[in-house]
Structure 1
Amino acid sequence: MSRLPHAGLPMPGGNPFVRGVRAISTVCGWVAASLTVIALFVTCHMIFVRYALGHSTIWQTEAVIYLMIGAACIGLPYVQTLRGHVNVDLVPMALPRRGRLVLAWVVQLATIAVIALIAWYSWEVWHQAWDRNWKSPSVWGPRLWIPYMVLPIGFGLFLLQLLADLVALAIGEDAPFGMKEG
């Protein structure tokens, strides 16, 4: 299988903002992986308690759901550093360098606008849960501000990574769509 010329992690250059944000995003990747592993252990615990011991479970299913949502949200900036989000290269590959650069700016700015909107509204939902002391209607009944907190944090850090990508594009540290010439 041949490797595409733009595949892989963009190499951080000398810009301290871009390097710092990529370091934060890498930590987010480790946190997301840890949340996934914790969810795996909680699932195993749930299976053991239910089937081996014959007891009912109260908190495990809901905890696993919250952990996996947390892993998905906190993992967003790391996946962005890897260029792992859904990407269709057909149009950028067909464009000349100048057209690719214009398209990269349009796509990057539109993505930043959408993610900023999601981050803002997720902060509002989190704040309502905090302010109104919302609790899950389940038997376990955790306070919902705790799992909702991953939404503004995850999308806020994703937004920060997108801004770092825009800076890297603007200063020439990263090529449009990660595609190097030649």
Structure 2
Amino acid sequence: MSAPIAVAPVIKGENAFVRAVEALTTFFGWIAAALTVVALIVTCQMIFVRSFLGQSTIWQTEAVIYLMIAATTLGLGYVQQMRGHVNVDLIPMALGPRARRVLAYAVLLATIGVSSLIAFYSWDLWHQAFERNWKSSTVWAPPLWVPYLAMPLGFGLFLLQLVADLVKLATGTEPPFGIKEV
């Protein structure tokens, strides 16, 4: 049986690259939070216009959808930095230190691979929308490159944070899965 374990707090790295990435993802985390608040305000305005004024809405539903997609994707890196994604740590806790480190590298590299594919294809989608001047098929008809830009930007930030996590793991700044031996 393995030794007792404790969850370690996230330690800010001494590495300049890690500090820069974490500052950038924190900034975009704040932007994501602000976009969520704006979406909430627009939703309240839409409810007021429909319920109390008896008018129809044209742009609100679509705007809220785009704002929430942007908030979700732009906040990916910040949530990764804060370790806020859903995490099942039963297996890492059951493993010894060496196996836990190997699993941490495997998980980070697999996540980097999948996220790289998503970033690449979302960049391609954004580029097509921009070059071909795609517009939404609604009455509002905003250019689609504007909301689509959040996807490659958000996944690019997520990739940077994953690479920073890989650097922290490789340099020993942070233990695998935040679990250190006691």
Give the alignment's TM-score, normalised by structure 1. Answer: 0.95
1:101-121 deviation line (CA, Å, top 9, x unaligned): 111111111110000110000
1:110-133 deviation line (CA, Å, top 9, x unaligned): 110000110000000000100111
Q: Name the SS for the 2:180 alignment partner.
A: coil
Q: Name the SS for the 1:70 alignment partner.
A: helix
Residue matched to 2:94: 94
Residue type of the partner of 2:7? Answer: H
Residue matched to 1:154: 154
Cα RMSD, aligned residues only = 1.2
User: 2-side partners of 1:12 and 1:63: how far apart?
Assistant: 36
Give the alignment's TM-score, normalised by structure 2. Answer: 0.95
Residue matched to 1:5: 6
Residue type of the partner of 2:96? Answer: P
User: 1-side partners of 2:163 and 2:41: how far apart?
Assistant: 35
User: 2-side partners of 1:51 and 1:5: how far apart?
Assistant: 52
User: 1-side partners of 2:87 and 2:62: how far apart?
Assistant: 32
User: 2-side partners of 1:136 and 1:72: how far apart?
Assistant: 20
Residue type of the partner of 2:145? Answer: W
Name structure 2 gaps, 5 residues minimum.
Answer: none
Moved over 2 A (4+): 4-8
Residue matched to 2:116: 116
Residue matched to 2:16: 16
Name which structure has the greater RCO, CA cutoff 8 Å, separation 6+: 2
User: 1-side partners of 2:137 and 2:82: how far apart?
Assistant: 38
Name structure 1 gaps, 5 residues minimum.
Answer: none
By how many angstroms is 1:6 displaced?
Answer: 2.2
1:31-77 deviation line (CA, Å, top 9, x unaligned): 11000000011011111111111111000000000000110000100
Question: Could you tell me whether the CA contact under 8 Å between 2:8 and 2:180 is conserved in 1?
Answer: no
Q: Name the SS for the 1:180 alignment partner.
A: strand
User: 2-side partners of 1:155 and 1:6: how far apart?
Assistant: 27
User: 2-side partners of 1:137 and 1:5: how far apart?
Assistant: 53
